[in-house]
A = this chain, B = another copy of it.
Amino acid sequence: MPVIGVFDSGFGGLTVLRALLPLIPNAHYIYLGDTARLPYGAKSQATIARYAVESARFLADQGCDHLVIACNTATALALPEIKAAVAIPVIGVIEPVVAAAHAALLRATPTPTQDPSSQPSSAPVSTNRPPDHDLPTPQILVLATNATVQSHAYFQASQNHHLHATEKATPLLVPLIEEGWTNHPVTRQVLSIYLAEALGTCTPQAILLGCTHYPLIASEIESTLRKLNSSATIIDSAQATAAAVAQQVAQANPPSTPHRPATFLCYATDSTEKFRRLGSTFLGQPIPSVNLLDLGG
């Protein structure tokens, strides 16, 4: 049975664990929220890398076979350091969500052979085809924390996938979600301001939720976009990352029988009571117990 480590600075990564549990059963998950040192979003690269490496080493030492960095800030600022520090495969949240956006936009964009006015062609359509230089580069919009935006990690990953990314810092969304205002007029007003500012500078075909908190307000983001006359597709980082992890795990572990539901264990570096209470909202199911972990920082 594979053991999958999932790391975040706080609770947000539980949206990734939530997506993983049904997708990869027959696995045991160890989740670590470095809650004593959150939020990473306001800290420097050196500090974030030090914190993330400590957490990654802890999960590797617990016997994890795969490690998921379910934290956009740590992925943006410390993925190379984390990969160098542990001997197990590591997946961050940025590459899978950009790849998912690329795939979704390719599906949505008619190729010359798909033009209904043209004759059908026998040439196979590859979803990995290079960009058509007659078409403009597809535009995407990334919503994220200050630190993730300042790293330009999404911009660079998008360039590798022939997408042009506009990165928009939306620092009030995490506090609003943690206040429980996920369906609230103030959150809608803040979203209207942030999205109107962003749509004033670009016309994106996809919006990437570049923070693992944001899936909790995905429907609010979508309805705000529609009010602002944008038809952009929303790409959820939790779902995209879980799909990439499932593919990696399936390659390493042939399907085992009998089918058993996934099990999980949670660690937090601060206030296990708060983790259990707030975390259950992100996980979408009760968290029976949380272990307190001292990483010494």
Among candidates B38, B44, B193, residue contacting A42 with C-beta atoms closer than 8 Å? B38
- Nearest-CB distance from A109 to chain B (Å)? 36
Binds B, one of A55-63, A170-178, A219-227: A170-178
Copies, count: 2
Q: Does A252 contact B (CB under 8 A)?
A: no
- A186 B190 Cβ-Cβ under 8 A: yes
Q: Which residue of B lies closest to A192 (CB)?
A: B186
Per-position binary interface string of chain A over residues 4-20, scored 1 when its CB falls under 8 Å from any chain B CB and 0 otherwise: 00000000000000000
- Nearest-CB distance from A48 to chain B (Å)? 10
Q: A274 to chain B: which residues have CB within 8 Å? A: 42
Q: A190 to chain B: which residues have CB within 8 Å? A: 186
Q: Does A65 contact B (CB under 8 A)?
A: no
Q: Does A37 contact B (CB under 8 A)?
A: yes
Q: Which residue of B lies closest to A38 (CB)?
A: B42
A22-72 residues with Cβ-Cβ distance < 8 A to B are 35-38, 42-44, 47
Among candidates B36, B43, B175, B178, residue contacting A47 with C-beta atoms closer than 8 Å? B36
- Nearest-CB distance from A18 to chain B (Å)? 22
In angstroms, Cα B47 to Cα A193, docked, is: 36
- Nearest-CB distance from A186 to chain B (Å)? 6
A227-277 residues with Cβ-Cβ distance < 8 A to B are 270-271, 274
Q: A179 to chain B: which residues have CB within 8 Å? A: 171-172
With contacts A37-B37, A186-B190, A189-B189 known, is A270 near B171, CB below 8 A?
no
Among candidates B172, B174, B270, B297, residue contacting A44 with C-beta atoms closer than 8 Å? B270
Among candidates B35, B175, B296, residue contacting A172 with C-beta atoms closer than 8 Å? B175
Q: A176 to chain B: which residues have CB within 8 Å? A: 172
22 A/B residue pairs, CB under 8 Å, sorted by A: A35-B43, A42-B270, A42-B271, A42-B274, A43-B270, A43-B271, A44-B270, A47-B270, A171-B179, A172-B172, A172-B175, A172-B176, A172-B179, A174-B175, A175-B175, A185-B189, A186-B186, A186-B189, A186-B190, A189-B189, A296-B297, A297-B297
15 extra interface residue pairs, beta carbon distance < 8 Å, beyond A36-B44, A38-B42, A172-B175: A36-B43, A36-B47, A37-B297, A42-B270, A44-B271, A171-B179, A172-B176, A174-B175, A175-B175, A185-B189, A186-B186, A186-B190, A189-B189, A296-B297, A297-B297
